């Protein structure tokens, strides 16, 4: 399938899908390995090539302020446009499409309806690389009354984000990897991710942010404070999740210290209304509390919701409006 978002420049095509803006020559692929130039046109190699398709709780994304307790038809493709040596999903993010089978967009929507899901979710690898497929899935899902979400590294272009919004994207969780030094390690720039977060907020999308605190890389108080400061300037109501890292792929540093995760939440809550800990089942910072009066609003254990007390989007005790999309 011919790709969207590119332009021709002499003998090359400039891909406009992400901040890399790869200049791709005839017969060559971009950094992501899923977009190729043939006969002067850019084509996607990833349309409908899914590595995963399953109904999962929205809390696992993590989305804590988006239809809590609901499930989402989750799907993923292959490859990535960044290069994290600690990638938690490296089996698919470091691989090009491994088969020729194409799952029709209609099949994702029909399966979501059959399982009683309230949304779709493009996740696990970098879903932006399924761009043309996302446009079809999201528009079909909207027609059938579903909402659409994605979990992204935020390295898509602003043009791509706007097109996804037009197609029916409702919510996005963006993974902020760390500070400028962190992004130098993985071949990107932090400023581009923050511009996408700002644009997502401007477009009216529901936004949540996740930060994997990688031991010795992005787990310092300085990095946590810097990211909390930047998010607060965009919207202090946007939830932030500090996720515990575990050794994976090429990285063998020990798991994130629990004390550092707790400290990250304490630092973030000086400026942000909602901060959480992820990958630590049973911790009190999995729960949602009213930032005004401290009332317990949502009680969780890992990806399960046991109690919801938000009334019409507000705290039932003090009436404070809580950021989110609620039933």
Q: Is the dihedral of CA 60, 66, 69, 71 positive or negative?
A: negative
pLDDT at 267: 98
Mean pLDDT value across residues 157-167 = 98
Largest CA distance in the chain: 64
Q: How confident is the model at residue 10 (pLDDT cuts 50, 70, 90)?
A: confident
Are residues 19 and 134 part of one domain? Answer: no
Domain span at residue 34? 6-44
Domain total for the chain?
A: 2
Q: Residue 169 domain-assigned?
A: yes
Q: Of 156, 158, 148, 159, nearest to 175 (Cα)?
A: 156
CA distance 164 to 33: 21
Are residues 56 and 40 part of one domain? Answer: no
Count the Cβ atoms, other than its own, within 10 Å of residue 164: 25
Mean pLDDT value across residues 6-29 = 96
Q: Of 140, 159, 137, nearest to 150 (Cα)?
A: 137
Nearest-Å Rg of the Cα atoms of the chain is 19
Are residues 130 and 105 part of one domain? Answer: yes
Are residues 144 and 23 part of one domain? Answer: no
Percent of the chain with pLDDT over 90: 98
19-59 confidence digits (pLDDT tens): 999 999 999 999 999 999 999 999 999 999 999 999 999 99
C-alpha 151: how far from chain center:
2
pLDDT at 212: 97
pLDDT at 264: 98
Is residue 155 pLDDT above 90, yes or no? yes
pLDDT at 3: 98
Burial class for 12, CB neighbours closer than 10 Å (0-12, 13-18, 19+): middle
Q: Residue 320 domain-assigned?
A: no
Are residues 180 and 39 part of one domain? Answer: no
- 97 vs 190 pLDDT, higher one: 190
Tokens coding 285: 């910072």
CA distance 5 to 48: 18
201-221 confidence digits (pLDDT tens): 999 999 999 999 999 999 999
Is residue 85 pLDDT above 90, yes or no? yes
Mean pLDDT value across residues 75-96 = 95
108-140 confidence digits (pLDDT tens): 999 999 999 999 999 999 999 999 999 999 999
Tokens coding 289: 């509390």
Q: Residue 318 domain-assigned?
A: no
Is residue 70 pLDDT above 90, yes or no? yes
Are residues 155 and 216 part of one domain? Answer: yes
Q: Residue 233 domain-assigned?
A: yes
Q: Residue 305 domain-assigned?
A: no
Q: Of 278, 316, 311, 280, nearest to 295 (Cα)?
A: 316
Q: Residue 308 domain-assigned?
A: no
pLDDT at 60: 97
pLDDT at 323: 98
In the block, tokens 């197609």 appear at 167
Mean pLDDT value across residues 1-21 = 96
Are residues 184 and 109 part of one domain? Answer: yes
pLDDT at 100: 85
Are residues 99 and 247 part of one domain? Answer: yes
280-299 confidence digits (pLDDT tens): 999 999 999 999 999 999 99
Question: What's the mean per-residue pLDDT of the chain?
Answer: 97
pLDDT at 96: 86
pLDDT at 99: 82
Q: Residue 81 domain-assigned?
A: yes
SS (H, E, C) the chain: CECCCEEEECCEEEECCECCCCEEECCCECCCCCEEEECCEEEECCCCCCCEEEEEEHHHCCCCCECCCCEEEEEECCCCCCCCCCCCCHHHHCCCCCCCCCCCHHHHHHHHHHCCCCEEEECCCCHHHHHHHHHHHHHHHHHCCCEEEEEECCCECHHHHHHHHHHCCCEEEEECCCCHHHHHHHCCCHHHHHHHHHHHHHCCCEEEEEEEECCCCCCCHHHHHHHHHHHHHHCCCCCEEEEECCCECCECCCCCCHHHHHHHHHHHCCCCCCEEEECCCCCHHHCEECCCCCCEEEEEECCEEEEECCECCECCCCCCECCCECC
Q: How confident is the model at residue 227 (pLDDT cuts 50, 70, 90)?
A: very high
């Amino acid at each position: 399938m011919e790709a969207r978002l590119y332009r021709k420049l002499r003998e090359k095509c400039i891909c406009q899908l992400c901040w890399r803006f790869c200049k791709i020559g005839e017969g060559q692929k971009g950094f992501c390995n899923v977009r190729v130039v043939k006969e002067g046109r850019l084509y996607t190699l990833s349309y409908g090539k899914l590595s995963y398709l399953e109904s999962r709780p929205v809390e696992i994304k993590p989305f804590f302020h988006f239809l809590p307790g609901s499930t989402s038809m989750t799907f993923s493709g292959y490859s990535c446009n960044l290069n994290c040596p600690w990638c938690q999903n490296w089996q698919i993010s470091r691989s090009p499409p491994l088969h020729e089978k194409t799952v029709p967009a209609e099949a994702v929507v029909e399966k979501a309806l059959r399982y009683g899901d309230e949304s779709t979710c493009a996740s696990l690898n970098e879903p932006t690389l399924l761009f043309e497929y996302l446009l079809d899935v999201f528009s079909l899902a909207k027609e059938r009354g579903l909402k659409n979400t994605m979990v992204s590294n935020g390295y898509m272009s602003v043009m791509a984000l706007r097109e996804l919004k037009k197609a029916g994207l409702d919510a996005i969780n963006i993974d902020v990897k760390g500070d400028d030094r962190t992004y130098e390690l993985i071949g990107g720039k932090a400023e581009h991710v923050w511009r996408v977060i700002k644009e997502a907020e401007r477009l009216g999308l529901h936004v949540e942010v996740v930060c994997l605190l990688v031991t010795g890389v992005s787990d310092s108080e300085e990095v946590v404070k810097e990211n909390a400061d930047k998010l607060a300037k965009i919207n202090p109501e946007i939830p932030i999740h500090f996720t515990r890292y575990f050794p994976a792929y090429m990285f063998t540093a020990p798991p994130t210290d629990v004390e550092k995760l707790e400290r990250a939440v304490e630092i973030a809550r000086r400026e942000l209304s909602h901060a959480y800990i992820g990958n630590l089942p049973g911790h009190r910072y999995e729960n949602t509390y009213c930032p005004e009066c401290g009332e317990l609003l949502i009680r969780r254990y890992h990806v399960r919701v046991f109690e919801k007390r938000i009334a019409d989007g507000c705290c039932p005790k003090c009436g404070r409006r809580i950021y989110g999309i609620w039933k």
